[in-house]
Amino acid sequence: MYKRSILLMLFVCIAFLIISKIKNKDPDFSIHLKVILLSLVPIVPWMLIGKFFSWRNYNIIWSNFQLFNGKVFSYFLNIPLDISWLLFFLFLFSVVFILVARRNVLSFYFGMLFVAYYFFLALDIAYISPRLAMAFYPTIAVYLALFLYSIIDKIRWKHSFKLFFFVLTAYLIAISTVPSLHTEFQSANEFRKLQDFPTDKAMKWVKDNVKGNEKILTLRIMADLFYRDKYGIDKNKIIAFWYDLDKVSTPEKLKAFYKRNKISYIMFPAPEYLKSDNLKILTYLKENSDEEFLQVQKFNLDKNYIYVYKLKEIL
């Protein structure tokens, strides 16, 4: 995932250079291109090594383009959860301002950067995450700076910059530290996944109860491999799927998979935020309408549940 983010940045920079050369006849195009390509020297070894240790690959979900129902259309409305609604609306005003009155090389480059990363993240299988949304921050910061500076410049009061700087700084500190103001950020999906998920207890159960030659299949269990290593659980006992559930995405595929791999247990989550077309197999497991599984354990933390089923076929 992160290797592809780096590559995307390189493509954006190269595309920007090509457009600038076509539009402005940039005489230093070859020099700038060589500088960008030179940055690959420290990146390529990391990418080659990371290929063997990557925990998942980038995965495009074309259904995210569904009109008014896909993530491409709804992802934008989650930006306020990272920067607050006030800054979000100021950012929208800044976009309009730049399109109308401040179109230049700087705004064009950062506009390209925002659009490229927006579609890169919105098309991926992953859920909305504040750490991934940080790719938007450079564009938001630059656009807000251009917009606010234009307002300050028109006020023409010698202390206007100091006033804006003080108000904005105080606001950012307040929404980051005052509990009543930053509650909305702590309740976002990423924080719920990290803070309110009983993986520790669930994996401790695996250590104590999955015996002998038994195997457990884990589906979308946050940090399961971390706790596997923490508790010294045999790696051969756990088959883990995180984002990509294609091999077990239907009841038929799941049944074939657990028979082929001699699975004894299935562990899966049922928190409120896991609602997506590519996670229907979790709903199927939760309902257990065919009664092919026996629930042997259930863990709860802040209404985020982890279930452990045992296959009735092997009882």
Distance CA 108, CA 292 (A): 57
Separation between Cα atoms, residue 273 and residue 192, nearest integer Å: 9
Q: Are residues 95 and 180 in the same domain?
A: yes
Q: What are phi and psi of 244, to 5 degrees?
A: -85, 105
Is the pLDDT reported for residue 68 higher than 60?
A: yes
**77 and 37 in one domain?**
no
pLDDT band at 245 (very low <50, low <70, confident <90, very high): confident
pLDDT (tens digit per residue) in 220-232: 888 888 899 889 9
User: Tell me, what's the pLDDT at 291?
Assistant: 82
pLDDT for the residue 92: 93
- Contact between 188 and 164 under an 8 Å Cβ cutoff? The reply is no
Together in a domain, 68 and 180: yes
Domain boundary among 58, 77, 101: 58
Do 47 and 122 lie in one domain? The reply is no
Same domain? 231 vs 249: yes
- Here the CATH number for the domain that contains residue 257 is 3.40.190
Do 51 and 159 belong to one domain? no
Last residue of a domain, one of 30, 58, 86: 58
Pairing status of strand 216-219 against strand 293-301: unpaired
- Per the structure, the count of domains in the chain is 3
Residue 184: what pLDDT? Answer: 58
Q: Which of 187-191, 263-267, 302-306 has the highest mean pLDDT?
A: 263-267
CB neighbours (10 Å) of residue 137?
13
Q: Do residues 188 and 212 both lie within one domain? A: no
Lowest mean pLDDT among 1-10, 83-92, 280-289: 1-10
Residues 135 and 252 in one domain: no
- Radius of gyration over alpha carbons of the chain, in Å? 24
Point out the domain boundary residue: 166, 194, 222: 194
Q: What's the pLDDT at 281?
A: 85
Residue 55, pLDDT > 60, answer: no
- The DSSP code sequence of the chain is -HHHHHHHHHHHHHHHHHHHHHHH--TTHHHHHHHHHHTHHHHHHHHHHHHTT-S----B-GGGGSTTTSHHHHGGGGTHHHH-HHHHHHHHHHHHHHHHH--SHHHHHHHHHHHHHHHHHHTBSSPP-HHHHGGGHHHHHHHHHHHHHHHHHHH--TTHHHHHHHHHHHHHHHHHH-HHHHHHHHTSHHHHHHHS-THHHHHHHHHHH--TT--EEEES-TTHHHHHHHTT--GGGEEEE-S--GGGSSHHHHHHHHHHTT--EEEEE--TT---GGGHHHHHHHH-TT--EEEEEEEEETTEEEEEEEEGGG-
Q: For residues 315 and 105, which has the higher predicted lDDT (pLDDT)?
A: 105
Domain that holds residue 200: 196-314
Q: Is the pLDDT assigned to residue 145 strictly greater than 70? A: yes
Residue 184 sits in the same domain as residue 152: yes
Task: Indicate if the pLDDT at residue 212 is higher than 80.
Answer: yes
Residue-wise pLDDT tens digits, 256-299: 999 999 999 999 988 655 555 567 888 888 888 878 889 999 99
Kindly state whether residues 45 and 141 are assigned to the same domain: no
Residue 51 has what pLDDT?
Answer: 60
**Residue 147 sits in the same domain as residue 217:** no
Q: Do residues 207 and 95 share a domain? A: no
**CA torsion angle for 229, 234, 238, 240 (degrees, to 10)?**
30
